[in-house]
Amino acid sequence: MTDKTTDAGPRRLWFNAGLPALGVVLALALWWLVTIAFGIEPFWLPAPSDVVEAFLRLPGHLTEQAGMTLMTTAVGFAIGSIAGAAVAVLFAASSTIERMTMPLIAAINAVPKAALAPLLIVWIGLNTQAKIVMVVLLCFFPVLVSTMAGLTSVPNDLRELSHSLSASWWQTFVKVRITWALPQIFVGLKVASSLAIIGAVIAELTNPDRGLGAVIVSSSQSADTPLAFAALTLLALMGAALFYLVVAMERILVPWTRAISS
């Protein structure tokens, strides 16, 4: 803990919430100023006011498309994370399976997932499932790797403790390893939360029938840059919200992490 966090109320609030807010406001002001000072056309770079205007032009449409993207993102993130964690548990249980499949999974991960988007359409079709699969592919690996790292990072003294109590593999797993791994799992979940949005957008750009990705495609075709920016802003807000949701879950589930790591 630094000295700054021990300061009393208002100063801490200013430090934790005030300064970040000020940063955002200043950046927006600078953006606005640049568009006015250099007389930049909204076609090239819309001012913040143009973006808000574009959103207010089609609020229902944008919210609906955002909802679709959010659904794809959330479902894919949930499936990918659960699958990643489950496979990590399987690997922890059986080194045979790990040895056999780990190189394969690493190789699959090395394939740029964006390049698979057209193939997913061939395999699965022009539907939401194909989009969800893209998100799953992106979320799976970081959660797998971080869960494995967490499960294998149990310190020696705790291993020896459970050995000396003759704890079964399952008891050790449930009472020690999985909880010990939680902080690491959350590292993977945070990475996956950002990748999930990317996956959804890649899928929507490839098959632009719905979602904010489709809005970006159609608005750039009609040279409606402010509308594209409105979609981008919604994507950014969605990504940030998902990320902080994971952070909030972490604080609730593993309150002891910050205490022992500081």
Partner 1 sequence: MIKIAGLSRTFQGKSGTVDALHNIDLDVGNGEFLAVIGRSGCGKSTLLRIVAGLIPPSRGEVLVAGDPVTRPRRDVAMVFQRPALLPWRSVRENVMLPVEIFRWPRAKHRDHAQRLLEMTGLEGFADRLPHELSGGMQQRVSLCRALIQRPKVLLMDEPFSALDALTREELAVELQRIHIQLGTTVIFVTHSIQEAVLLADRVAVLSARPGRVRELVDIDIPRPRSFGHNAHLEEVAAASAELHQLLLGEHLPETPAAT
Task: Give the side-chain half-sphere CA count within 13 A for 30.
Answer: 6
Q: Token digits for 231?
A: 């979609």
- Answer whether 43's CB lies under 8 Å from 59's CB: no
DSSP conformation class of 1: -
Region from 36-44, 55-63, 169-177, 187-195 binding partner 1, contact rule CB under 8 A: 169-177
**Phi/psi of residue 125, nearest 5 degrees:** 115, 175
Q: Which of the ranges 1-9, 95-103, 210-218, 252-260 carries the binding residues for partner 1, by CB under 8 A?
A: 252-260
**What residue type is assigned to position 82 of the chain?**
I
102 forms part of the interface with partner 1 (CB under 8 A):
no
Q: How far is the CB of 173 from partner 1 (least distance, A)?
A: 12
Q: Give dist(CA 214, CA 126) in Å, integer.
A: 13
Q: Which of 9, 157, 222, 252 binds partner 1 (CB under 8 A)?
A: 157
Cβ pair 223, 235 in contact under 8 A: no
- Measure Cα distances from 180 to 43, 123, 260 in Å: 52, 39, 12
Considering the complex, state which of residue 63 and residue 152 has its C-beta at the smaller distance from partner 1: 152
Among 46-54, 140-148, 155-163, 189-197, which window interacts with partner 1 (CB under 8 A)?
155-163
Q: What is the Cα–Cα distance from 73 to 199, expressed in whole angstroms?
A: 8
Would you count residue 161 as binding partner 1 (CB under 8 A)?
yes
Among 147, 162, 193, 219, binds partner 1 (CB under 8 A): 162
Compare residues 181 and 212 and give the one whose CB is closer to partner 1.
Answer: 181
- 249 interacts with partner 1 by CB under 8 A: no
CB-nearer residue toward partner 1: 10 or 157 = 157
Q: Is 175 a residue that touches partner 1 (CB under 8 A)?
A: yes
Taking CB under 8 A as the binding criterion, the range among 1-9, 28-36, 123-131, 153-161 that sits at the site for partner 1 is 153-161
Closest distance of CB 178 from partner 1, Å: 11
Per CB under 8 A, 105 contacts partner 1: no
Cα–Cα distance measured from residue 44 to residue 57, given in angstroms and rounded to the nearest whole number: 19
Least Å distance, CB 181 to partner 1, is 12
Helix (H) or strand (E) holding 222: none
Q: What is d(CA 36, CA 31) in angstroms, rounded to the nearest whole number?
A: 9
Tell which residue, 157, 148, 144, has the closest CA to residue 178: 148
Kindly list the residues in this chain that would bind partner 1 in the complex (CB under 8 A). 155, 157-158, 160-167, 171, 175-176, 179, 254, 256, 259-260
